[in-house]
Amino acid sequence: MIQSIEKFEELLAMLEKSSENEQKRVIEEMNIIIEKMDSNELFSVLTEKMLNRVDGMIEEKIFSFENTILFLSQMGYFKTLKDRQGRYFNYSLLCNRIRKMIIYEGQKKDEKNEKLLVDLCECYLFFNEVYSSELFFICVPCLLKASLNKEESEEAQRKVEMALVALDNISQYKKIEKGLYLNEIKEILKYHQEHRNLTRLAYQSAWKFLINRLYNDESLEEMSANELHFAREASRELDELSKCVDWKRKEEKGKKGRDWKDMTIIKNWLQKLNEFFLLFPTWKEECDEVIRCVVGICRAARESENEIYEEGLSLLHTIINMENVRTVVFLNGGVFNLIMEEMQQPTLISNLLLRHLKFCLIFTFRLKRKAESEIEEANRRPAKMKLFEELEEEGYEDIITSLYRIILKLDSMFYFRVSLDIVDYFVNI
């Protein structure tokens, strides 16, 4: 960690002594270091003092604004992906300079420098987490327009990705007027579904920009779910990505290795699916695909990617509480088996064990309660039989029974409760 930070500081000092062309080379070297940093290392160099230092270099004509944009855009891009928040930028002199430039350029009637405005808006949104309505209504339409570029060249795709990643950094707590910018984001998503013109990260970022709006506009559920098929698309992306990454790779010195960006995308899809289902617990379409996909990811991530594994389990626990999702979907998707495998782990932490026990209770309660009709009961019977056989054949009953002694203790430690009657955890035929 110290070595990366020291090298970054060394290169930052070199910028003050280099020519404009040499500065470009130094910035490229700095970007390589930043990409390899973890979030804590990045946070330690992204300080108000450092940003004020860069602003001073601009003021003294040491640093061209072209090179400033090159320096900030890549750093902000990696900062956003590594999920490190901080309001240091808001109080820096550099933030104030960029803010004034955006307003000046955005209010121009003629001869507006569109490229400069896009670059400025990206840098501002990459770093900033508190922004005025004036800047919001300049930056968002500017970056959406840039994101609508349908060129298929690698350079064009990269520019679109940068614009969309900047947009997805906008908090869900920022209320956007109903209907505003919907046509643009809808066009971006639908065009990609037909032509596959976006990078994986760009496509996810476009979805995040839309899903964040659901917190303030629930009417978007219909468009997100049934028109644009959020769950289906997220499952497809997760399926494809999970086949590309090396789940068994060895960690090197605490870094995330070459797959860190793909791992970040997988984690973000799981988080957004969880948010979606928490917001709309009555929704049930395409859940079978989500469940099957997430179970596979949990199994793959269990040994090496703890954050992804926990996000997957959290999503499965959210879905089991959705009454509209049929119990047989969980059984066929392998959720019950996954949870029971986890309950056998010797290092399982107490609060997670309690959640797993609650999962078993919900699962068996659904199969125990009286069906509304004989037809429904007949349809449910194969699922009940399958679960009964697995409880017996795999020794799951013994596992639950062996945990009974600590259930009372766990039940008193956490905010939710589980049954103290061991019979409630089993299904009888």
Least confident range from 49-53, 71-75, 127-131, 225-229: namely 127-131
Tens-digit pLDDT profile for residues 67-79 = 999 999 998 999 8
Domain assignment of residue 174, yes or no: no
Tens-digit pLDDT profile for residues 184-213 = 999 999 999 999 999 999 999 999 999 988
pLDDT tier for residue 104 given thresholds of 50, 70 and 90 = very high
More confident residue, 376 or 21: 21
What is the model's pLDDT at position 197?
Answer: 93
Domain assignment of residue 345, yes or no: yes
CA 159 to each of CA 2, 77, 136, 150, 229: distance values in angstroms, whole numbers, following the listed order: 32, 12, 20, 11, 26
Percent of the chain scored above 90 by pLDDT? 45
The predicted model gives 276-304 an average pLDDT of 88
Does the pLDDT at position 121 exceed 50?
Answer: yes
What is the model's pLDDT at position 24?
Answer: 94
pLDDT tier for residue 249 given thresholds of 50, 70 and 90 = low
Domain assignment of residue 39, yes or no: yes
Q: Is the dihedral of CA 198, 85, 298, 229 positive or negative?
A: negative
φ/ψ of residue 255, rounded to 5:
-85, 165
Which of 108, 130, 152 is where one domain is finished? 130
What is the model's pLDDT at position 254?
Answer: 42
pLDDT tier for residue 109 given thresholds of 50, 70 and 90 = confident
Tens-digit pLDDT profile for residues 57-67 = 999 999 998 99
Which of 96, 130, 164 is where one domain is finished? 130
Computed over every residue of the chain, the mean pLDDT equals 86
More confident residue, 258 or 201: 201
Domain assignment of residue 251, yes or no: no
Domain assignment of residue 385, yes or no: yes
What is the model's pLDDT at position 147?
Answer: 97
CA 101 to CA 96: how far, in whole Å? 9
What is the model's pLDDT at position 362?
Answer: 85
H or E segment to which residue 347 belongs: none
H or E segment to which residue 97 belongs: helix 93-106
Least confident range from 214-223, 238-247, 255-264, 278-287: namely 255-264
More confident residue, 276 or 324: 276
Q: How many domains in the chain?
A: 2
Domain assignment of residue 215, yes or no: no
Residue 15, domain extent: 1-130
- What residues have CB less than 8 Å from 30, skipping those under 6 apart? 8, 11, 12, 71, 75
Which of 130, 159, 193 is where one domain is finished? 130
Domain assignment of residue 123, yes or no: yes
Half-sphere exposure of 5 (CA within 13 A, CB side): 13
